[in-house]
Amino acid sequence: QVQLVESGGGLVQAGGSLRLSCVASGRIFSINAMGWYRQAPGKQRELVAAIVSGGSTNYGDSLKGRFTISRDIAKNTVYLQMNSLKPEDTAAYYCNFVVKQGYGRTSYEYWGQGTQVTVAS
């Protein structure tokens, strides 16, 4: 019912920057939260950054200051600005939306397909 499409990943040299975008389409009544997670091969998926409906944000350990999450609610879009990239940032990055599809308390969670970020050393 909701589709998330990510873009902006690619290959970048250490110290470089990338900006990821994720746009949602489909049945969205309201958005409770948006977030970015990443997963490297053999590693657990970890939080990169999240932003809740009130606008407050939280970041994974050691990422605040290099990564910035932002949103455009009108466009159902969340962004991740990544600066000073390091080889250890290499991973598949997934966007996540928690949405309501009508009045009431029921929320639904959706994930994007992932976009690969590779930081060359």
Question: What does the alpha-carbon distance between residue 72 and residue 59 come to, in Å, rounded to a whole number?
Answer: 18
Q: Give the per-residue pLDDT at 105.
A: 87
Question: What does the alpha-carbon distance between residue 70 and residue 81 come to, in Å, rounded to a whole number?
Answer: 8
Give me the phi and psi of 86, to 5 degrees please: -120, 155
- Per-run averaged pLDDT (10 residues), the chain, 121 residues: 95 98 94 96 96 94 91 95 97 96 91 97 90
Whether the CB-CB separation of 19 and 9 falls below 8 Å is answered with: no
The 10s digit of each residue's pLDDT in 69-87 is 999 999 999 999 999 999 9
Which single residue is written with the structure tokens 């409770």? 32
Q: Give the per-residue pLDDT at 62.
A: 82
